[in-house]
Amino acid sequence: MLGNIRDKMNISGEFDMNTVKLTINEQEVEIESGKTVLEAARSADIYIPTLCHHPDLPPAKGGRPAAAVYQGEVKIENSMPDEPDKGCGLCVVEIEGESDLVGSCATPVRDGMVVFTENDRVQAKRKENLIPILASHRHACLTCAQQEGCPRTQCSSNVPENERCCPQFGHCELQNVANYIGISDATPKWIPTDLPIFRDHPLFERDYNLCIGCTRCARACRDLRGVEAIGFVYDENGRVRIGTLAPTLADSGCKFCTACVEVCPTGALTDKSVRAGKKEEDLVPCREACPARIDIPEYLRLIARGKQDEAHAVIREKVPFPAILGRVCIHPCEDACRRGEVNEAVAICALKRYAADQEKGLWKQKSQATEETGKKVAIVGAGPAGLTAAFYLRKQGH
């Protein structure tokens, strides 16, 4: 992921291993120069709330809007072409000696810097900045005293269903942040927007009524995947509006990787409904369909990154004969592959064979047999299952 690279780079994209010392809430923190105040705080387990920031994405501030985006057939043109993305404003902190509060996600650390993340001034500003975010997002449930025990059926406060019951309720970043910061009494009631909801795609759903304009999805599409099928604009009211760059996902060049879904902090982008107790089966059906329960997504990611040896090692965690299985397996994983709902399934079996044919013995470095036990086990059958059982029993010293 991008975060693995950013850990060793400063915000200008240059490698820098020098360190600086700063004080955050009277706690001394040492971190590489070029890092941000937010990164320094997190390295010291000091919480600073954020919504637009994500550790695997570049900062939201400074991002430029598209000329226009689409929400289905509805085209929304940008009304503020020279206005960069300002971010959510929830990560503000106070720096000693500076009159204005600053965004910790975009402020580089300096040696000797003294930072305050929880004083009254900072907390008041965060609460103020949360108002416009909640004003454009349903939040009746966030102010309800019974939210923790809510059955999500009949509302004791008689709030209409379209003004409550987000699919992410209880697992929502916005909910967690709002509970931490506190909701101002000045927050206006949310007015239903009746924006488009798209449930026709086999992998994920889009509900623009729940979008807070954090631009995470657009940055994930552009900077993580290099696709840029999603963008943002400012409407005539100055509100950030997210959409695709063409009327359909396919026409926008979407690769259907669902990286946008992974980073969305609300219920605006969600995986297709997951059955209770069936999350693994619904979201990773290939692994569930594999008789050996091989971590298929992991070894496919490694192959995509050119790490065939590491991919082969992942396969061998479950089966000792990847090359054989890459040739004879009936690959039920491909029948279950979610990609098949978009166009065609990933060639999982062929990729297993490819990784096995390219491996250079990395797996042997950590493959160790235990001491002899003196015990014997009879195995009936000499097919892949029997040979696998024999292999792992032998490694256990039998």
Give me the chain's average pLDDT, please: 85
Q: Which residues contact 165 (CB under 8 A, 6 or more apart)?
A: 141, 152
Q: Is 22 exposed, middle or buried (0-12, 13-18, 19+ CB in 10 A)?
A: buried
Counting runs of H as helices and runs of E as strands, what totals does the chain give? 14, 12
Q: Residue 1 pLDDT more than 50? A: no
Given a cut of 50, whether residue 5 has pLDDT beyond it is no
In words, the CATH class of domain 279-367 is: mainly alpha
**How confident is the model over 252-260, as a mean pLDDT?**
91
Q: Is the pLDDT of residue 15 over 50?
A: no
Could you read off the pLDDT of 59-118 as tens digits, one per residue? 887 778 999 999 999 999 999 867 676 789 999 999 999 999 999 998 999 999 999 999
Chain centre to alpha carbon of residue 54: 8
**What is the topology classification, in CATH, of domain 2-271?**
Ubiquitin-like (UB roll) (3.10.20)
- How far apart CA 233 and CA 231 sit, in angstroms, is 7
Residue 137 CA to residue 211 CA, distance in Å, equals 7
Backbone angles phi, psi at 356, to 5 degrees: -65, -40
Given a cut of 80, whether residue 362 has pLDDT beyond it is: no
Task: Please classify residue 245 by burial: count the beta carbons closer than 10 Å to its beta carbon, then call 0-12 exposed, 13-18 middle and 19+ buried.
Answer: buried
pLDDT confidence of residue 260: 95
Looking up tokens 């900045």 gives 129
Q: Between the CA atoms of 20, 25, 26 and 27, what dihedral angle is there, to the nearest 10 degrees?
A: -50
Contacts of 157 (CB under 8 A, 6+ apart): 140, 144
3-state secondary structure (DSSP) of residue 102: strand
> What's the first-to-final CA gap in the chain, in angstroms?
41
What pLDDT, on the 0 to 100 scale, is given for residue 50? Answer: 95
> 25-39, 270-284, 300-314, 319-333 — which one is most confidently predicted on average?
25-39
Q: Give the start-to-end residue ranges of the domains of the chain.
A: 2-271, 279-367, 369-398
Answer for the pair 31, 43: CB distance below 8 angstroms, yes or no.
Answer: yes
CB atoms within 10 A of CB 253: 14
Percent of the chain beyond pLDDT 70? 87
Give the residue from 119, 121, 111 showing the smallest Cα distance to 28: 111
